[in-house]
Amino acid sequence: MSPTKRAGSTKVAATKTATRKNPPTKKLVSKPKPTPKKPTPKKPAPKKPTPKKPAPRKPAPRKPAPKKPTPKKQVLKPTPAPKPAAAPRPKAERAVAVPKTGVIPPAAGASPYDIPYAGAPLGAHVSTSGGIAAAPPRAVDIGATAMQVFTKQASQWKERMPTAAEVQAFRAALAATGVGFVNAHDSYLINLASPNPALRAKSIGSFEFEMRRSNALGLDAVVSHPGNFMDDRASGIARNADAIIEVLERVAGPTRLLMELTAGQGTVIGSSFEEMADLLARLPAALQARVGVCLDTAHVFAAGYDLANDFDGVMTRFGDVLGFHRLGLLHLNDSKAPLASRKDRHELIGLGSIGEWAFRRIMTDQRFADIPKVLETPKGDDMITNDRRMLRKLRGFAAGR
């Protein structure tokens, strides 16, 4: 669950939480070992600025270099992540990159579009206030080429399908942008692992609606949080898997299901790579290709995977246990909460307990090159400024800045 404030959705913090204490949980991997002085991770060789095709439209007038956002407060970190040496910025890289198909990026303020970026779709959660067709232009406003949306009020059970006209308006709005990946995030109320038959049935109904709606809208994926087991972990995993099977067997379509790794709060399932692998292994072979994993950096860090000090160890573990072929989406969030705190608290990139180094790694590591990436960081006072700044930062990381 994201604590991020979003327009049109009321935050329901941890309503799904357990009523009883955690049973002894499985030991998590990637315990913070007393790390020996780490050799500075090798940076990939800076990409040669590839000569861009002549832009079809006039590049926006060059703006004065935007001020570096000053971190409001310094969050305490276990060990400062090594800072890569700031490479001098090659002039040629300053060419303006605009979305493939169109909509001119906003002129005011620092725009991520002035940093060239040729990687997989990169964006943020955007509001659908005013209708889902209003979302793609918002993605353009912040400099996004990927976006996550709620296809309904995430804090309510009420369901509806989009009308044909709404679907058409959404597809048209999307086609007018360079947004190349869209995913829905399912409702916070859903608990497919619940031992309560009434709540589980309601959850299955809502989850099925989400899959139908997202397929109708032609979305690439639905991100779903594994549920809370409440009574018994193994039974909860089985109930969650059975619910997924039930719904996917009823709803066909191109939209993939991505199960999100969780922070491990209360009795929630899926905070260890092993447990997620266990959940997915229960799905029949025929459904495997339709299901993948969403890795949320804040969640896995809170679950005990030390992205700040053992990035390579964590990712090797992920590859071994779940496999990169299953990785369908990255949620890029720094964490307000410390390592292994099991608290789901998102923070702006570089300002939390993870620190910016892990995000630099993600933005330059070939294993993530083709994986869409979406921010769920705090929006702040408006829906544009922070996201634009964060996306600019990430594009800068990708460019070795």
**Residue found by looking up tokens 């209360």 in the block:** 266
Among residues 114, 186, 275, 344, the one that binds Zn ion under rule CB under 5 A: 344
**Mask for 69-108, x = binds Zn ion (CB under 5 A):** ----------------------------------------
Residues in a beta bridge with 394: none
Contact (CB, 8 A) for 132 and 149: yes
Question: Quick one: three-class SS letters along 118-143?
Answer: CCCCEEEECCCCCCHHHHHHHHHHHC
Q: Is 2 in the site for Zn ion (CB under 5 A)?
A: yes
Closer to Zn ion by Cβ: residue 14 or 238: 14
Q: CA 303, CA 396: separation in Å to the nearest integer?
A: 28
Please report, as residue ranges, which positions from 249 to 268 form the binding site for Zn ion (by CB under 5 A). none
C-alpha triplet 146, 160, 380: angle, nearest 5°: 40
**In the complex, minimum distance from the CB of residue 2 to Zn ion, in angstroms, rounded to a whole number:** 4
Instruction: Give the amino acid at 185.
Output: H
Q: Is 401 in the site for Zn ion (CB under 5 A)?
A: no
Closer to Zn ion by Cβ: residue 344 or 347: 344
Nearest-10 crossing angle of helices 311-321, 356-364: 50
Q: Which residues lie closer than 8 Å to 84 by C-beta, 6 or more apart?
A: 40, 43, 357, 360, 400
Question: β-strand 334-335 against 346-347: which pairing, if any?
Answer: antiparallel
**In the complex, minimum distance from the CB of residue 377 to Zn ion, in angstroms, rounded to a whole number:** 10
**In the complex, minimum distance from the CB of residue 298 to Zn ion, in angstroms, rounded to a whole number:** 6
If we measure between CA atoms, which residue out of 237, 193, 201, 180 comes closest to residue 371? 180
Closer to Zn ion by Cβ: residue 111 or 353: 353
**Total number of residues binding Zn ion (CB under 5 A)?**
4
Among residues 141, 210, 275, 296, the one that binds Zn ion under rule CB under 5 A: 296
Closer to Zn ion by Cβ: residue 293 or 384: 293
**In the complex, minimum distance from the CB of residue 394 to Zn ion, in angstroms, rounded to a whole number:** 16
**In the complex, minimum distance from the CB of residue 289 to Zn ion, in angstroms, rounded to a whole number:** 23
**In the complex, minimum distance from the CB of residue 105 to Zn ion, in angstroms, rounded to a whole number:** 26
Residue 176: C-alpha distances to residues 100, 255, 325 (Å): 9, 21, 30
From the list 54-62, 79-87, 89-97, 294-302, the region that binds Zn ion by CB under 5 A is: 294-302
**In the complex, minimum distance from the CB of residue 48 to Zn ion, in angstroms, rounded to a whole number:** 34
Q: Is 183 in the site for Zn ion (CB under 5 A)?
A: no
Q: Which residues lie closer than 8 Å to 38 by C-beta, 6 or more apart?
A: 82, 309
Closer to Zn ion by Cβ: residue 141 or 344: 344
Closer to Zn ion by Cβ: residue 110 or 259: 259
Q: CA 291, CA 138: separation in Å to the nearest integer?
A: 28
Contact (CB, 8 A) for 108 and 387: no
From the list 93-101, 104-112, 126-134, 292-300, the region that binds Zn ion by CB under 5 A is: 292-300
Please report, as residue ranges, which positions from 318 to 337 form the binding site for Zn ion (by CB under 5 A). 331
**In the complex, minimum distance from the CB of residue 346 to Zn ion, in angstroms, rounded to a whole number:** 6
Which residues of the chain form contacts with Zn ion (CB under 5 A)? 2, 296, 331, 344
